[in-house]
Amino acid sequence: MAGRLIGIDLGTTNSCACVVEGGDYKVIPNAEGSRTTPSVVAFTDSGEELVGHAAKRQAITNPRRTLFALKRLIGQRFDSPKIQEAISHLPFQVAKATNGDAWVGVGDRQYAPPEISAIVLSEIKRSAEAYLREEVIDAVITVPAYFDDAQRQATKDAGRIAGLNVVRIVNEPTAAALAYGLVNKDKRELLAICDLGGGTFDFTLMEMNDGVFEVLATSGDTFLGGEDFDLALMQWLFKQFQETNGVDVSADQSVQQRFKEVAEKAKCELSSLDVVDIRIPFVIQGPDGPLHIETTLKRSEYEEMVTPLVNRMIAPIQDAMKHANQMPSNVSQVILVGGQSRMPLVQKRLQEFFGKEPNKTINPDEVVAIGAAIQGAVLSGDIKDLVLLDVTPLSLGIETQGGGFAKIINRNTTIPARDKRVFTTVTDNQARVEIHVLQGERELAEANKSLGRFDLVNLPPLPGGVPQIEVAFDIDSNGIVRVTALDLTTNSEQTMHIQPSSGLTEFEIQRMIRDASQYAEEDSRRRDDLKYIASTDGLLFSCEKAFADFGANLTANQNREVRQLLETVRQAVIAKDSSIIRANETKLLDVQGLLTTAAIAGSEDAVSVVDMEGDNDSNSGGVNVL
């Protein structure tokens, strides 16, 4: 390994990075000072890229070009029923690539999900280099425990495109356990790690004993996460609006984005409040004027909506407990991971199942990145007293005659691992056999995930059932697979390195890496410009609002000059012309001060109304979108 090593949690909703220095971890802030970065990428009409908070802020006005929750698509086939269900609620285009994978369309350009993830990783890499003041080359990146080989390969592709050497892929719940164990490593405990993030639910049962972390079993649901909880509330809002106004707005992409933003905020507030007020003005223009939505939502009502989602956690948990031959009462600690795990109903359901209150001592948004950095420090030798023994989440094997699935390495086998079985031919004088490599748990080959096919040729002409063909599987520490077929009669051998199912060829990956390097300086300048423009847009918005409210307190000359300046800067923001904005930056700040003075003058004449009865509903909060 060369260069600085960081740990990255590449999340569905948010991503986070961490570094270990001197045996202690530090979460790396992004360019805006936030410890997490939204996993959102947007493209403006002119083709410029926005990442993170800047992309998320403009999602309402640019829904078809704002990409989010791409982790659910990475390494996935377009025709998968779950993919079809997931993309039905997305405002942007998801298309079928020539190889059958799911790709994303923006204008006349198609992007593979790893390509979009690479843009997020590039932003994290830049933030880390700015924070550490040195080059970052190596990274440990986490994935959901139940990611299959194609999804892990696609994640590694994303890292390579971003200019990172991905030294290890680590399961997210395993990383969380490492973070917990860093300060509790002398204990002997059975840990239940419940990771309910933005897109997936993973459960891992792990034994921690004197610095050795052994995964006993893992299970999960790759389509259960915070996005589904948001969607449940969005659909409720659509229904409320239709009942109030008689109009169905669920197909309007801009309205979808506004409702998604409101749903996410209301969901978060209901983790600490009993009731939230939801107000969304000017949803659409009706025949008699603008139509709004104004309603309240109780926590109990929301919990009733999402109870089926919460209950879906239990089947994977029971599955893993059964594989590990453990009872819920044997668990020492229940560790919460992922932002959605903050929901009181989630915690209550887990407490009911395990008979103990979940551990809340670690930050669920940062713990996975911390664990990834710790694993990186173990690999580099900076931390020497921790050992990680992870498992493969799904069984591996080959298709047999008649469409059966013969497992060679069973799920929950500790990795790295190697195992083999001997097969034979079906017909007389068979000169070749096709090895169809599969991953999954179903008995039928067609019901499992195909990882690829290869041929073993030039077999000697022997009766059916006589040749002996040894098929061996190797899984490395990243959970990535190599398959070998050996004819024991002739010692003829064929090896297959499972090719990435990310929709990207090696040529395309190399092209993207070259492009990222070639345009790095230009992209960096333009990105800084766009951040500056976005920041000015926020200042301009507050000035325009203050001018509308308090402009009457200015003199006629001041009113005219302010109006002209605001119009000039607004046009520059629309045109993305940073030179005009910079030329007027001082004037805009002066106008902000002038309007603040006008606002104070206006408030002195206003009548202040105080509720003499006090706060009658201390559990009520508000959500307001302009």
Catalytic residues, which ones? 9, 71, 172, 195
- Two tokens at 342? 């903050």
- Two tokens at 402? 């008649």
DSSP string, 469-505: EEEEEEE-TTS-EEEEEEETTTTEEEEEEPPP-SS--
CB 306 within 8 A of CB 271: no
d(Cα 442, Cα 429) in Å, to the nearest integer? 31
d(Cα 174, Cα 159) in Å, to the nearest integer? 20
If residue 193 lies in a helix (H) or strand (E), which one and from where to where?
Answer: strand 188-196
- Two tokens at 10? 């590449």
Dihedrals phi, psi of 183, to nearest 5 degrees: -105, -5
Instruction: Look at residue 77 and give its three-state secondary structure.
Output: strand
Cβ-in-10-Å burial (0-12, 13-18, 19+) of 508 comes to: middle
Residue carrying the six token digits 């991503």: 15
Q: Where are the alpha helices (DSSP H) in 225-298?
A: 226-245, 253-269
Per the document, the length of the chain is: 626
d(Cα 307, Cα 499) in Å, to the nearest integer? 40
- How crowded is the C-beta side of 333, counted as CA atoms within 13 Å? 20
350 contacts: CB under 8 Å, gap ≥ 6: 194, 313, 334, 336, 358
What are the angstrom distances between the C-alpha of 258 and each of 60, 241, 255, 418, 531?
Answer: 6, 13, 5, 50, 22
Question: Number of helices and strands (H, E) in the chain?
Answer: 16, 29
d(Cα 18, Cα 564) in Å, to the nearest integer? 46
Dihedrals phi, psi of 479, to nearest 5 degrees: 80, 20
d(Cα 238, Cα 160) in Å, to the nearest integer? 41
Dihedrals phi, psi of 76, to nearest 5 degrees: -110, 150
Note the Cα 57 to chain centre separation in Å: 17
Q: Where are the alpha helices (DSSP H) in 450-584?
A: 506-518, 520-550, 556-574, 578-583
